[in-house]
Structure 1
């Protein structure tokens, strides 16, 4: 799936990366459902996004710890 330039721009803004950085990730396939969630998330308040990112960061940290043990 290849998003339009407008969608790619919104995703790069949401993830706080440049379009170049977003495009260079060629070996990562973004699941359609994940993309839909990201687009929905872009409409949330900054406070809500902050909470969601905190939860995601906690899951990522948990996975890293589990992979080390």
Structure 2
């Protein structure tokens, strides 16, 4: 996976669920994403509706390793 021209091995972001919410201009799709990263034999997971938050989390996990 690549984020901001940085290659992150053993990381992925996927769509976990989708729901529809009534907005001002009709129905709006809200997605829930899950980020996974394998580090030192363990898998760390985090879920959020904000894709940018998950990308920053993956980068912080990469720097902490």
When normalised by structure 1's length, the TM-score is 0.29
**Larger strand proportion, structure 1 or 2?**
2
Q: Which has the higher helix share?
A: 1
